[in-house]
Amino acid sequence: MTSNKRAIVTGGTRGIGRAIVKELAARSCCGVLFSDVAFIYNSCDECAEEIIQEISVSGTQIYAFKADVSNYEQTEDTVKAAIEKLGGVDILINNAGITRDNLLLRMSENDFDDVINANLKSVFNYTKAVIRPMIKQRYGRIINIASVVGLIGNAGQSNYVASKAGVIGFTKAMARELASRNITVNAVAPGFIQTDMTNKLTDEQKQAITQNIPMGRLGKPEDVAKVVGFLCSEEADYITGQIIVVDGGMTM
Ligand code: NAP
């Protein structure tokens, strides 16, 4: 049975977020879920325009909002505007994220703060902004994009790892707070996925990483987006507080 859902996706212009926007919009075809989507981006106006043009699934409305997800006041205004356009909100995907890698000895305070704010504070900002309407309607699906490094750690990424471990903890706390209101909160923890974020790696680094992935390849953004689509669907109605790893077997 088709149900009309409204989704907000942060970081929807590129990589995993872009694939999630497409996945949620495309689900209108298979009768499982029909999502109008508002996505947030930071800088790439052309990317935002491109994705709106690209996703021309009939009946699905796509809206783009330019805002810094780490800014609390901007978040309140952006979510309010998105809810006005969508007519409500059923799904929140906290996907936006950045890296500023360095060994701790060389890491600046700014690089630590920027990553924590973009990756973790943003999750607080957007979750806080959507839960009131979700509680009122007694329905909500919140999915946070974490990372396997938030579970196992990674040298040279103390800021990023701390932010993703924080997202995992936040996910579980919110799952407990909101379960009785029929709001599920889960995280997806990707391994290495081919996006602009990992394009910074050298071919040698990618080769070394691939050797540690039983499935023998880096992931595609769609590999993550499909799991997010499942967690938004009715099939996942009884799943909450879980961290679903999507890494080709790397951290099993
Ligand atoms: P990406 O290709 O670099 O895209 C990042 C997206 O986030 C862009 O749409 C960007 O918008 C947006 N964004 C970044 N900072 C923002 C801010 N302050 N305000 C608003 N939007 C902001 O990254 P990705 O690889 O798809 O990663 C997506 C998520 O998956 C991140 O949370 C990342 O940590 C996580 N992840 C990725 C991997 C991987 O291997 N790629 C692995 C594990 C987890 P603009 O286009 O406007 O800059």
Q: Are 93 and 8 in contact (CB under 8 A)?
A: yes
Question: Is the pLDDT reported for residue 201 higher than 60?
Answer: yes
Res. 58: pLDDT tops 70: no
**How sure is the predictor about 3, in pLDDT bands with cuts at 50, 70 and 90?**
low
* Pocket residue to mutate for ligand 1, from 16, 68, 75, 126, most atoms within 8 A of Cβ: 16
| DSSP letter, residue 24 | H
Average pLDDT over residues 5-14: 96
Answer yes or no: is the C-beta of 161 below 6 A from any ligand 1 atom. Answer: no
pLDDT at res. 60: 83
DSSP letter at 182 equals T
Q: Which amino acid is at 166?
A: G
pLDDT band at 200 (very low <50, low <70, confident <90, very high): confident
Judged against a pLDDT cut of 80, whether residue 27 lies above it is answered with no
75-92: pLDDT as tens digits: 999 999 999 999 999 999
Extract the tokens encoding 48: 């935002």
Give the dihedral sign, CA 219/220/223/229.
Answer: positive
pLDDT tens digits, 126-185: 999 999 999 999 999 999 999 999 999 999 999 999 999 999 999 999 999 999 999 999
pLDDT at residue 1, as a whole number? 38
- 20 SS3 class: helix
In angstroms, the Cα distances linking 95 to 32, 102, 251 are: 22, 22, 21
**pLDDT value at 32 more than 70:** no
Distance of CA 155 to the CA centre of its chain: 23
User: Dihedral sign, CA of 89, 94, 95, 98?
Assistant: positive
Is the C-beta atom of 185 inside 6 A of ligand 1? Answer: no
Nearest to 16 by CA among 98, 85, 78: 98
Give me ligand 1 centre to Cα 16, in Å: 7
pLDDT at 31 over 80: no
* 97 vs 27 pLDDT, higher one: 97
Q: Is 88 left (phi over 0), alpha (psi -120 to 50) or beta?
A: left
69 lines ligand 1 (CB under 6 A): yes
Instruction: Please give the Cα distance from 184 to 187 (Å, whole number).
Output: 10
Report the first-to-last Cα separation within the chain, whole angstroms.
35
Q: What atom of ligand 1 comes closest to residue 43's alpha carbon?
A: 47
Residue 186 CA, ligand 1 centroid: distance in Å:
18
Q: What is the pLDDT of residue 131?
A: 98
Query: ∠ CA(196), CA(201), CA(207), 5° rounding?
Result: 120
**CB of residue 42 inside a 6 A radius of ligand 1:** yes
pLDDT tens-digit profile of 94-137? Answer: 999 999 999 999 999 999 999 999 999 999 999 999 999 999 99
Could you read off the pLDDT of 211-242 as tens digits, one per residue?
999 999 999 999 999 999 999 999 999 999 99
